[in-house]
Amino acid sequence: MRMILSVAVMCILAVPVGVPERVEARESQDKTSGAHSNPRPPSHWWKTAKYIQELKLTPAQSAEIEQIVQNSVERLRVDKDDLDRAQSDFRAMMEQPDVPKRELLKAAERLEMARFSISKERTSMLVRIHSVLTPDQRRGLNAIAKREAERNQK
């Protein structure tokens, strides 16, 4: 584990200045171009009459999904603030000429843990939503997501 972390940090340290900005630009371009491994359902699908009817969602299911999303959004906001702070701290340390390697490693670990927290919360939210839906509703939601992705690509 220590070896993997050391190699990862060395790779990070070997990256030329300015690369984080290019990586962020590429990531935001990927997000806007719809480059996801799986298509995402439309926003607020559990509150949209057309999708509620198509999926045969009950009012209780819609309400439960809304509660799951609201709880997750609050946690994701906190996690995003943590990520922003960790990124800022890491960048500032990378610009300083005499930061000890150990401090850089700690900052890199905080940054990666902040990224992990966001990913974990989002995945947990999807699992909780998944457990509210029936197998038929899950298949229907996947079909809606694919249909909307194809429509948006045209």
d(CA 67, CA 84): 26
| Domain boundaries along the sequence of the chain | 72-153
At 53-106, the pLDDT tens digits run 999 999 999 999 999 999 999 999 999 999 999 999 999 999 998 999 999 999
Which pLDDT score, from 0 to 100, does residue 154 have?
Answer: 78
d(CA 67, CA 51): 18
At 12-48, the pLDDT tens digits run 444 343 434 444 444 444 444 444 567 888 889 999 9
Does the predicted TM-score (pTM) go above 0.85? no
Which pLDDT score, from 0 to 100, does residue 9 have?
Answer: 40
Which pLDDT score, from 0 to 100, does residue 37 have?
Answer: 63
d(CA 104, CA 13): 9
CA 97 to chain centroid, in Å, comes to 32
The two three-digit tokens of residue 42, written as one number: 């439309």
pLDDT band at 125 (very low <50, low <70, confident <90, very high): very high
Angle formed by the axes of helices 101-132 and 2-14, to 10°?
110
The two three-digit tokens of residue 111, written as one number: 């940054």
d(CA 128, CA 58): 16
Q: Is the dihedral of CA 95, 101, 102, 104 positive or negative?
A: positive
Q: Residue 63, exposed/middle/buried by CB under 10 A (0-12, 13-18, 19+)?
A: middle
The two three-digit tokens of residue 2, written as one number: 């220590």
d(CA 7, CA 96): 21
Mean pLDDT of the chain: 82
d(CA 154, CA 131): 32
Largest CA distance in the chain: 61
| Over residues 126-141, mean pLDDT | 96
Which pLDDT score, from 0 to 100, does residue 57 have?
Answer: 97
pLDDT band at 11 (very low <50, low <70, confident <90, very high): very low
Which pLDDT score, from 0 to 100, does residue 39 have?
Answer: 84
Which pLDDT score, from 0 to 100, does residue 2 have?
Answer: 47
